[in-house]
Amino acid sequence: MLRFPNLLILPDKVYSLSIEELNSKRASDRFLVDHKVRGVNFSDPFDAWMTSLAVSKEFLEDYGLYKLKIPIEWLLIRFLRHHVETDSLNLLSADDGQVLTSSNFKEYLGREFASTEAEEILRALLESWAGVHPGGALEFRDLFVSTDFTLEIFSSSLKALISQGHIKELGQNVYTVK
């Protein structure tokens, strides 16, 4: 698997993510690629959690056939974000825990938003990031996985915020909040 996002940005907090592949009994029993994920809140290190995060090997092997522009790692982090937001991380780690599969991945591809609503949501996430790391660099993937936008809506909203002067592009897919 490629590079995972490093951050999970919520409107009220930002988690730093560390992810490593996990050779577990669950993975071999269920034909999964399993990961151990640790999230630590930038502002409150006591707000930390650890969970398993898995994708079915069958779906992983077939993923290229879908010809999607979104890396599977990004979908996995969106899957994780859903569980962080709904306080249901416990549903991921059990031997029979939820995993990303061909039957549920479409829920994490994103949905349509009005451009003004998308920009407002994105601004809230940027403010959350700026609150814990003023002037800190932020990657496209970290912002993208922190939203429910389609890739097209996300890209156009990001471009709009750049043109409005809310964000400065530091390099290819790297930004800072002004």
Q: pLDDT tens digits, residue range 73-109? A: 999 999 999 999 999 999 999 999 999 999 999 999 9
- In tens, the pLDDT along 125-170 reads 999 999 999 999 999 999 999 999 999 999 999 999 999 999 999 9
CATH architecture assignment, domain 115-177 = Orthogonal Bundle (1.10)
Reference 177, options 139, 137, 132; nearest CA is: 137
Rounded mean pLDDT of 27-50? Answer: 97
- DSSP string computed for 44-75: -TTSEEEEEEEEEHHHHHHGGGG--SS-HHHH
Tell me the C-alpha distance between 176 and 65, whole Å: 35
Kindly report the pTM of this predicted structure: 0.95
Residue found by looking up tokens 């990004």 in the block? 74
The kind and range of the H/E element at 176 are strand 174-177
Place of tokens 């002004």: 178
